[in-house]
Amino acid sequence: MMNQMLDFIKQMSGKFTDMNPVSSQTDARKIALIRNMQKELRQKDILYIPLRQLPVAVFDLETTGFYPYQGDRILSIGAVKMTGAEIHWEQLFYKTVYNALPPSEDITELTGLTAWELTQASPLLDVLRDFYRFVRNDPLVAHHSSHEKQFMQHASWHVTRKNFQHRIMDTNVLTKAVTPNLSHISLDDWCQHYQIPVKRRHHALYDAAATASLWAKNIEQAEQLGFDHLKDVYNYLANHS
């Protein structure tokens, strides 16, 4: 699995096809495509899909900080598709995002993303379009999803002037139901708890893969505990909060 991800990242890192920020004549079509995909997603009800059949796209963002409305920016997006507890390692997404301003030394050290790499990347509009094409109408899953949600909300409004419509579920939707006596917070703690190997942290695709493995463990436990679908999980959490 790790070799497959390394090959994928190497392949994607060689595809610097758009070196300019948003400016092309096709921007209007790209924006319309993003809006249409988000409209389709709103029509999908996932609460009664059996957990073993539930399709999701697990994703992660690397950013310059925590506050998009104060100027922090998305640097990269990584994602992997899943169905139930099955991770589709052949369905991966990874893109860096054009940034004219270099990241701080701390962020470069943390993520490995350099100023040169980010000036060669595709603009945010193109990355979002490609990401939504990859996701289609599957709900999203993230660890500490409030971070991802606020950045996606800001990015969606910035490029389309429309609110972000995708459903994002936090991994704690399941961890609170299947391990109510544990209070782990960080992804590292959960990976240690489930003995999930972590090859590289603070890389969007590797973190998405680790989060997908955590989601898979929780799906398996949820089924063993008798949860059939997300509605069961939400009902349990409402009654035990």
Fold of 2-239: Nucleotidyltransferase; domain 5 (3.30.420)
C-beta separation of 129 from 51 below 8 A? no
pLDDT in tens, the chain (241 residues): 656 666 666 566 555 444 444 455 567 777 776 666 666 555 567 999 999 999 999 999 999 999 999 999 999 999 999 999 999 999 999 999 999 999 999 999 999 999 999 999 999 999 999 999 999 989 999 999 999 999 999 999 999 888 888 889 999 999 999 999 998 999 999 999 999 998 889 999 999 999 999 999 999 999 999 999 999 999 999 998 7
Q: Enumerate long-range contacts of 29-32, CB under 8 Å, 24 or more apart.
A: 30/125, 30/126, 30/129, 31/125, 31/159, 31/160
pTM for this model (two decimals): 0.86
- Output the CA–CA distances (angstroms, integers) from residue 185 to 35, 96, 152, 175, 212, in the order listed: 34, 27, 22, 10, 16
The domains of the chain are located at 2-239
**What six digits make up the tokens of 50?**
């059996």
